[in-house]
Every structure is written in C-alpha cells, then in structure tokens.
A = this chain, B = another copy of it.
Amino acid sequence: MPPKKRAYHHGDLRRTLLDASIALIVERGLDQLSLREVARRAGVSPAAPYHHFATRQELLEALAVEGFVMLAESMRASLEAVADQGSVERFRATGVGYIRFALAHPAHFRLMFRPSLVPVSAVASSAKGAAQADSFQILLDAVDDTLKDQSIRAHLDRRGLALVAWSLVHGAAELLLDGPFALGLPELDAPAPAIPELVTRAFQGLLDALRDAKGAGEGARVKSAKRRRTT
C-alpha cells in the first residue's frame, strides 16, 4: 500500500510554514514576506522549506489556493444559514460571507488578489483555478437565482449583476482592511464592531435597487421589517 504522507521529524512542517507565512504577512505586510524569515520563525534551517515547496512562489500559490477554498467555505456557510429564505436573502448572505472571510483572513485575502505576487499563468487547470472557480460559482448561482425572481428589475444582466455585487463586497473588504480606516481619515473612524451591520445594510441597499417597487410581493415585506429597524 502507498505510504501515508505523515510527518517524520517535525510535527507538520508544511502547515507550520504556511501559518508562519500568514503571521508574517499580518505583521509586516505582503511585501516583506521572505522564505528565510518564515523558516526562522518555524525554527528550521533555510533549506528545510524546499522539501515542501519547490520555490517561494509555490508557497504563495498554496496560500492563495487555501484562501479561495476558505472563501468558498465562508460563502457556503453564510448561505446555509439562510437556506430556507428567499433568493434575495440568500444572495445577500453570499456577500456577507465574502466580507466575513476577508476580515477573518486578511493575509489570505490580500494575497489572493495580487497578480504580481501570485501570477495568473496556467491557472485554468491548477488547484488554484479550481478553487477560484468554486467560490465564483457560488456567486453566479446566487445571481442566477436572484434573476429568476419575478420581482427583480432586469436592468442589469447576469454578468452586470455579478460584477456589481462583487464590487460592492470586494470594495468594502478592501477599504475595511487598507482603506479609510487604515488611512486614518477622521470622518470615517467608525468603531470596528459596527462594520458587519454596516455591510449588511449596504448590501441591502444594492438589493433594494433590484426590486421592482411596484411588483414586489411578500418577499419584499419580510425584508422591510428588518430594514425599518435600522432607520
């Protein structure tokens, strides 16, 4: 039988290296990540990582794949929590899952969208391509679902709606991580705890735009109860 891929000497160096990388990115920023420093933090020699990753590049790509897998998980988890609700609520849940992931895993998130660190070449057939496609498919499914809803205005097509929704949550995540707060702009120094609430309302604003105000049925009414609370 094929030997199990178990750790021999170290507990699980591969995992330890990935974790050390994340910690280093969080502390010093993406631009300061060095394989030697990662090895140092893992308590091994500078050559040790090469038994797990052929190059520094490969470690970064492994992190990016991990990120896309976690992103999909986060979106799915959010989605399942409202599985019994309408398509618009489920759509909103995917967005909340997206932002939740970004805030919980800022290092992964930043890395995933930095093509100059994790090049795009030959993505299609790789694990990274598959992981990307997976999270992206969740978004597209939610879009399709939402567009089937009779009470939705159709002035954005499938691709348009996907891009707009994605822009909103992606932008919110970026700004929350590196934007106005990090920039120290005084007018926007909201307390961090208020953020999820704010994001939910934001997405709600976008989704309200998609409702046909005249044609909206009970689905709309369920939401307006929630909305009124925030006014």
**A→B interface (CB under 8 Å):** 28-32, 113-117, 120, 123-124, 129, 132-133, 136, 140, 154-156, 159-160, 162-164, 166-175, 178-180, 182-185, 187-188, 190, 198, 201-202, 204-210, 213-214, 227, 230-231
State whether A202 touches B120 (Cβ < 8 A). Answer: no
With contact pairs A175-B167, A201-B160 given, residues A116 and B206 touching in the complex (Cβ less than 8 Å): no
Please list 19 pairs of residues, one from A and one from B, whose beta carbons are closer than 8 Å in the complex, sorted by A's number.
A30-B31, A114-B178, A115-B183, A123-B183, A132-B183, A136-B187, A140-B187, A155-B227, A155-B230, A160-B198, A160-B202, A163-B188, A163-B198, A164-B172, A167-B171, A167-B172, A167-B174, A174-B174, A208-B209
* A168→B155 CA distance, assembly (Å): 17
Residue contact B155 to A201, C-beta cutoff 8 Å = yes
Tell me which of B115, B160, B172 contacts A178 (CB under 8 A).
B115
Write the chain B residue with the least CB distance to A166. Answer: B175
Which single member of B113, B170, B183 contacts A120 (CB below 8 Å)? B183
Question: This chain: how many copies in the complex?
Answer: 2
- Which residues of B have CB within 8 Å of A227? 155
Contacts A183-B120, A230-B155: A164 and B168 contacting too (C-beta < 8 A)? yes
Q: Would you call B202 and A164 a contact (CB within 8 A)?
A: yes
Measured between beta carbons, the chain B residues less than 8 angstroms from A178 are 113-115
Residues of chain B contacted by A202 (CB below 8 angstroms)? 156, 160, 163-164, 167
Chain B residues with CB below 8 A from A201, complex form: 155-156, 160, 164
Chain B residue at minimal CB-CB distance from A155: B231
Chain B residue contacts of A140, Cβ below 8 A:
187
- With contacts A132-B183, A175-B170 taken as known, whether A117 is within 8 angstroms of B156 at the C-beta atoms is no
Contacts of A30 in B (CB 8 A): 31, 116
